[in-house]
Chains A and B, each alone.
Chain A
Amino acid sequence: MTLDTVGRAHETPDERQPYTELGMKDDEYARVREILGRRPTSSELAIYSVMWSEHCSYKSSKVHLRQFSTKAPKSDALLVGMGENAGVVDIGDGWAATFKIESHNHPSYVEPHQGAATGVGGIVRDIMSMGARPIAVMDSLRFGAADAPDTRRVLPGVVEGISSYGNCLGLPNIGGEVAFDPCYIGNPLVNALCVGLLRKDKIKLATAPGPGNKVVLFGALTGPDGIGGASVLASATFEEESQAKRPSVQVGDPFMEKLLIECCLELFEADVVVGIQDLGAAGVSCATTELAAKGTGGMDVRLDLVPLRDPTLRPEEILMSESQERMMAVVTPDDIDAFTAICNKWDIPVTVIGEVTDTGRLVMTWHGETIVDIPPGTAADEGPVYERPLHEPAGQSALNAADPAMLPRPSDLRAALLSVLGSPNIASKEWVTSQYDRYVRGNTVLAQPADAGVLRIGEIMPGATTTNRGIALATDGNGRYAKLDPYAGAQLALAEAYRNVAMTGAVPLAVTNCLNFGSPEDPEVMWQFAEATRGLADACRALGVPVTGGNVSFYNQTGSAAVHPTPVVGVLGVLDDVGTRVRSGFTEEGARVVLLGETHEEFGGSAWAQVAHDHLGGLPPAADLPAEQALAKVMAAAASRGLLTGAHDLSDGGLAVALAEACLAQGVGCTVSLPGDDAFVDLFSESSARALAAVKPEAFAEFVELCHKHDVACYGLGVTGGASLVVEDVLEIPVDELRQTHQATLPAIFG
């Protein structure tokens, strides 16, 4: 068996290397040779191939993502922006929140349970590595048609994976989305969000400064998880030891992750961590190169010291292993004993595997022989950057020309409402959310199906100020809108998440995003991506909420069929006094029902067009960002003055669905009349920047004045009360019938 050392690389410059199999292009391989002045060793090739992969290097998306920085609105709240493990936002009283959303799409199709579970685990470690205590998770899920046979395999597995991992980890799941569309059948989207809390003066960064400081690996042992690529290397170099038949999806251990959380918090509290990084995609390769590149510049690592679950692992495999529940820290020699003692208390394996240097080189040895000797920045930061060709999809103008105005409209609006309300995208998601613990840690103020999840800042953290503040979080996306117009679709996703946060009375502060697209090598997909990022960056600037981080997921396609472009946007907002939060829907009888915002005839990409006609065409609703901002201001002021007993945003399914959901929230009906002259348009149009407010009767005049002040159109529709949804002269449906229709759909499909 030959160990491919640096010496050997010098001696055998012409040895053929399996870079193509590892996904590297000819010119990328040539560039590595140029950087090193020789051929890479197989371990170095392992590092460069994963670090320069699309997943780690963002090589196709980088040129577009820069807009999130160059167009970023000025924000006093932003403490850490893009480029770190997660963004950090100042939420007041000395507290900071860190949040991020990330995809785990492909693994969740291959093995739904573990794919989704490890998706939760990965994002939670990102949050931990900022020095924060993770306090909640959310999930944005998209599947093929609800009744497709494979959806019955994928959805229950994904939900069970999130449920078993998140519940066992002890994080409340406070919201998210579940959507269905045939375009996701071979490519489900599983986007997981985590939010954490920390003292604003205690932020940790992924950096390894200080020569002589120790490099510590702690957490789970390293095994042959997710190293499909590495087995190519192993089989090419070490024919006799090839172990290609390995599971390609990692397996999660939420119990270990829970211990890691508590252990990390004690380590932070004891102040024995100089820098920290979680091990996610590309495992040790990523953690060592990134820590070294951001620190003093050099690191010596003895790779043979990495504790293994499978002692036969080769160095290349160790470098690429994606075993879960592992972290890497940089610790001063003086603190090593204290660090180890805390890990021991939590039964966490801990191993010193190396040392920070000032050589500017990342050097790794394997039983005394040098197998890696590279400038770490070349792997971590100087990967290839592509300006991929792009052009508008061939069918785009025909798609936009297929105006839903041509579609026959229903004569029976009662039946139309019930069919939209019971359609899988709108129907109750309780089948999913009842499998998630939404209460653990005791700070959940609002959770699904509320417009946004709301948490009290009630964590006990030494040295922190007690506060009445709370945070609100929502994620939204609409692939149908984005398919019709990716620029507007991305803006509408942001607008909806922003609006949902505003519904609770919170002031939206910052954004995270998960951009789910097809292959970047397809110019039509690349056009969608470019349009969506441009739209999102422009909208963030218009709304004054910066992007703090996120994730790009490409290659969500089977053959030439890509998923709808699906930017999913998460928004975080702050309530100065969480006690003033506005609950979702109608919560009391006798409140005045007010419609906020203007309704236009907008049916492109609408839920009605999908349910009634299986139609996708035309243009999505116009995104009116100044109107969204004004609406949010009205809601924040009304909440802090205590004018409301409830609220609900208008989105998919328009006013009809919003009214039905508002009635379903607490079983309180309403009697309303419609403001316009076309009941169908009033009920089912999906114009943006609209909401329902349930106003205390004595506060009605004050609320109307507030709307006028902010130039938000408001229409008094009626009052809450009774056991039915009554739209005068149009329809009347008992709340029980609404509930039956809303709740029956998912259990009928998934059991």
Chain B
Amino acid sequence: MSGARVGVVTFPGTLDDQDAARAVRLAGAEAVPLWHADHDLKGVDAVFLPGGFSYGDYLRCGAISRFAPLMEELIPAARAGLPVLGTCNGFQILCEAHLLPGALTRNAGLHYVCRDQKLRFENVDTPWTSDYAPGQEVVIPVKHGEGRFVANETTITGLEANGQVVLRYVGNPNGSLNDIAGIRNEAGNVIGLMPHPEHAVEELTGAPGTDGLGFFTSIMKALVNA
């Protein structure tokens, strides 16, 4: 094994970094802590942007983090093909950074929602989702107050037509357009999703089941086979 190294980014206010690092290790890869203030990706093979409330989310979620020194390194690397997965606040940051289209707005129900969410995979042709099958249904928790995916009609049509919708809610928790729970960029290396696969990787803890583990085993395989 070549020793796949997955960076896990910590911004001030990032919360799920410990969880993400644990999930990376469970899949057999090395979790490399990346600090927002460093201009340094430490040569990682992929990057995980965990959830949380970076900078308190007092401004638009992700709007400040997107300007972090680390992001100045990450954005060009992602454009050049580095596999990047952002969940929740990480998804919001990827949208703010224009690595993914659309935006995440206040939930339709106006409340924060934490629940074990049923989801369906659509397109799995990404380095983070190859262990899943199209149409496969899984349960992975969502927990967010601002997870309602919106974009203009052209963007939505484009995402659907290009097969860029990765995950859809089965029972929409937040009013996202087209029940979209996760998308990828055109190249397929950058994924954003509101659900938290890192909370569904062990039988003992987190959500019932281990349906989230596939994201981490997928990237592990993609990196080792690369």
Contacts and interface: CB of A to CB of B under 8 A. Distances in A.
Interface of A: 160, 163-164, 167-168, 170, 253-256, 258-259, 346-347, 433-445, 456, 458-460, 578-579
Given A168-B57, A442-B198, A255 B13 contact: yes
Nearest to A347: B12
Contacts of B68: none
B204 A442 contact: no
Interface string B68-109: 000000000000000000000000000000000000000000
Contacts of B12: 255, 258-259, 346-347
B114 A434 contact: yes
Interface of B: 12-13, 15-16, 18-19, 22-23, 52-53, 55-58, 111-115, 141, 143, 145, 196, 198-199, 204-207
A439 B114 contact: yes
B14 to A, nearest CB: 8
B204 to A, nearest CB: 6
A498 to B, nearest CB: 24
Q: Top 7 nearest A-B pairs by Cβ distance? A: A255-B56, A170-B15, A442-B19, A439-B199, A168-B53, A437-B143, A435-B112
A440 B207 CA distance: 11
Given A167-B53, A456-B205, A579-B204, A441 B196 contact: no
Contact of B143 (A255, A258, A439, A579): A439
A346 B11 CA distance: 10
B18 A444 contact: no
A495 to B, nearest CB: 29
Contact of A445 (B22, B143, B205): B205
A163 B18 contact: no
Contact of B196 (A434, A439, A460, A579): A439
Contacts of B207: 439
A164 B53 CA distance: 10
Contact of B56 (A254, A441, A445): A254
B199 A442 contact: yes
Given A255-B56, A258-B15, A579-B204, A442 B22 contact: yes
Contacts of A578: 204
Contacts of A255: 12-13, 53, 55-58
A424 to B, nearest CB: 19
Given A167-B112, A434-B114, A439-B19, 19 more contacts: A160-B111, A168-B56, A168-B57, A253-B56, A254-B56, A258-B12, A258-B13, A259-B12, A259-B13, A434-B115, A435-B113, A439-B196, A439-B199, A442-B16, A442-B19, A442-B198, A442-B199, A445-B204, A458-B205
A156 to B, nearest CB: 9
Nearest to B56: A255
B113 A434 contact: yes
B205 A440 contact: no
Contacts of B113: 434-435
A442 B18 contact: yes
Given A167-B143, A258-B13, A443 B56 contact: no
Contacts of B16: 170, 440, 442
A170 B19 CA distance: 11
Nearest to B20: A442
Contacts of B204: 445, 456, 578-579
B52 A170 contact: yes
A442 B52 contact: no
10 contacts: A160-B111, A167-B143, A253-B56, A255-B53, A255-B57, A434-B113, A436-B112, A439-B143, A440-B15, A456-B205
Given A434-B115, A437-B114, A443 B205 contact: yes
Contacts of A445: 204-205
A579 B203 CA distance: 10
A434 B19 CA distance: 20
B57 A442 contact: no
Contacts of A346: 12
A436 B19 CA distance: 17
Contact of A439 (B53, B58, B111, B206): B206
